[in-house]
Structure 1
Amino acid sequence: MLDEYKTIVGIAESKLVVKKSRFFGLVTSVDTIQGSKRFIELVQEKYPNASHYCCAYSIGRDHEKREYATDDGEPRKSAGPPILTAVASSQLSNVICVVVRYYGGINLGVGGLIRAYGRCARECLASAKIETRIFYKTLQVQTPYEQIGAVLKLCGRLGGRVVNVEYDQRATAHLQIRQREIENFRENLRGINTDIDVIDPVTV
């Protein structure tokens, strides 16, 4: 199973003026819904008092993929969906695009809005720097103290990353495992000790 994906490095921006309405597009990479909310807040701080902050994001892959689009007060399906279409067409993952509009006093009509928001999003995405990253899944592993070293070694051998390790009655490690190695990781854990619990933390 492929667990690599292409996404955006940093923040890319675009600007468009249509009949005195000014549109500003901003796109970046996000891994969580909470991260997308923080980015929208940053955009609102950078462009205060705008008429609309329309956006769309695509996070995750396959059955865990989450997509969202909002018109933020514009006519229904005139802003968010064309932005989401641009994101989907880019074939990038874990991406959010926000298009800010300052109303210029002239109505653009639904068709004009669809074209403007879509174009601003496409130009923003086209200007972005792209890199390849890896999909990881975060697992919580609880194990007897004497086995934690073997668990961490296994994580590293499979290309995973250690987020943190806590020690209480048992050792609890939060590990990021490559998507394609999840089943292999679980099978190897059973070989280390049957008294190891694996929990998939819920992240939003």
Structure 2
Amino acid sequence: MKTDNTDTYKTISKKSEGLYRDKGSRFISFLYPVQSEEEIKNILSAIKKEYYNATHHCYAYTIGHVDIPEYRMNDDGEPSGTAGKPIYGQLLSYDLKDVLAIVVRFFGGVKLGTSGLINAYKTATQIAIENASIVERKIKNSYQISFDYLYMNEVMQILKKDYVSIKKNDYIEDAYCLEFDVILSKSEEVIASLELIEKSKITFLKTS
């Protein structure tokens, strides 16, 4: 099945690392798949604890893959725009969503200058991205439908599509209930068909 390009997004499946050196300084980079700011705070805290003797812990992240994503950049004491921005720029270049990128710097005694810092943080992040397992995931809407059992065949005819997945079924208070996911671009079409079924009730649950 061919899907609309709005149905998918790119992220990473697991943590990855990279290392870049320049004039004695070491730039250790990390990528993490993330879903929330709370998760990001916990990861940053753990990195700062593990690399407590590093000179800088710079980072950028983007979370959210449906509407406009949330993002943040942090230079952690480096000159403004020389660390967080080039880190974030690499996330944009590879079109990654729901990813936290951290670059830990150990100063080597020689200043790199503005262009040198930008290149170092950019390259360190790029290395971690190139080492990462990048995956493409589908954006789905989740719904629940309740209906009279007499209409089971009609409901299943609509839901038995390769862009629909049934997640849960139950029988509650004389009504049959199904929870299902539909890829984003097909949601309106599927829901419009289900709404034609007599005595059916459809509830939107979430987008993920």
TM-score interval, smaller chain: 0.7 to 0.9
Task: Please say if 1:188 is aligned against 2:200.
Answer: no
Instruction: Tell me which structure has the larger Cα radius of gyration.
Output: 2
CA distance in 2, matches of 1:140, 1:181: 13
Q: How many residues align?
A: 202
Find the counterpart in structure 2 of residue 141 from structure 1: 144
CA distance in 2, matches of 1:81, 1:179: 31
Task: From 32, 49, 55, give the equivalent of 1:51.
Answer: 55
CA distance in 1, matches of 2:107, 2:178: 51
For 1:26-175, list aligned pairs within 5 A.
26-44=30-48, 46-61=50-65, 63-137=67-141, 139-141=142-144, 143=146, 153=156, 157-161=161-165, 175=180
Deviates more, 1:128-137 or 1:161-170: 161-170
Structure 1 contact 25–121 (Cα < 8 Å) conserved: yes
Find the counterpart in structure 2 of residue 8 from structure 1: 12
1:158 to 1:26, Cα distance in 2 relative to 1, 3 A? same
Structure 1 contact 147–192 (Cα < 8 Å) conserved: no
1:48 to 1:122, Cα distance in 2 relative to 1, 3 A? same
1:184 to 1:39, Cα distance in 2 relative to 1, 3 A? farther
Give the TM-score, by structure 1 length.
0.72
Deviates more, 1:159-168 or 1:104-113: 159-168
RMSD: 3.7
Q: CA deviation at 1:46?
A: 4.5
CA distance in 1, matches of 2:151, 2:73: 43
CA distance in 2, matches of 1:185, 1:32: 30
Structure 1 contact 4–133 (Cα < 8 Å) conserved: yes
Aligned to 2:81, the other structure's residue is in SS state: coil
Give the TM-score, by structure 2 length.
0.71
Find the counterpart in structure 2 of residue 177 from structure 1: 182
Q: CA deviation at 1:12?
A: 2.0
CA distance in 1, matches of 2:159, 2:52: 45
Aligned to 2:188, the other structure's residue is in SS state: helix
